[in-house]
């Protein structure tokens, strides 16, 4: 067997067109991304405990996905209505248990 074939991944990498199911969001933001569209970018862009930057914060989907994947996030949003919407959405996700903590890699926050 060729040694190069032994290390080839079993799945192909995402190509230039991704198929992602849409999800509705009850907020008023017009361009809310589905979490499954952002998740691969968050996982590829920052390690667990790392920071994800979203310069167009919008409804806060990137922050929610980052929280779910054990990453921190920084969002920038010029529109105060969208910023408030994102803040409410992130707080609700936190209360719903979206934050993940890896007991082997993460430390508890200082009291």
Q: Does residue 65 fall inside a structural domain? A: yes
Average confidence score pLDDT of the chain: 78
Q: Does residue 38 fall inside a structural domain? A: yes
Regarding pTM above 0.75, the answer is no
Q: Does residue 12 fall inside a structural domain? A: no
For residue 39, what are the domain limits?
31-99
Query: HSE-up of 14 (CA within 13 Å, CB side)?
Result: 12
Q: Does residue 71 fall inside a structural domain? A: yes
Domain total in the chain: 1
For residue 20, how many other CB atoms are within 10 A of its CB?
A: 13
Quick one: pLDDT at residue 83? 93
Helix, strand, coil % in the chain, rounded to nearest 5? 35, 5, 60
Give tens-digit pLDDT for 3-17: 555 555 566 666 666
State yes or no: pLDDT of 109 exceeds 60.
no
State yes or no: pLDDT of 63 exceeds 90.
yes
Quick one: pLDDT at residue 71? 93
State yes or no: pLDDT of 49 exceeds 60.
yes
Q: Are 81 and 55 in contact (CB under 8 A)?
A: no
């Amino acid at each position: 067997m060729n040694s190069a074939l032994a290390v080839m991944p079993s799945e192909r990498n995402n190509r230039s067109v991704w198929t992602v199911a849409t999800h509705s969001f009850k907020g008023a933001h017009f361009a809310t991304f589905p979490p499954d569209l952002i998740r691969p970018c968050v996982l590829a862009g920052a390690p667990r405990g790392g920071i994800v930057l979203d310069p167009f914060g919008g409804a806060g989907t990137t922050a929610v996905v980052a929280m779910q994947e054990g990453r921190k996030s920084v969002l920038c949003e010029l529109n105060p209505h969208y910023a408030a919407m994102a803040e409410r959405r992130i707080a609700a996700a936190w209360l719903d248990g979206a934050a993940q903590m890896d007991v082997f890699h993460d430390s508890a926050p200082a009291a």
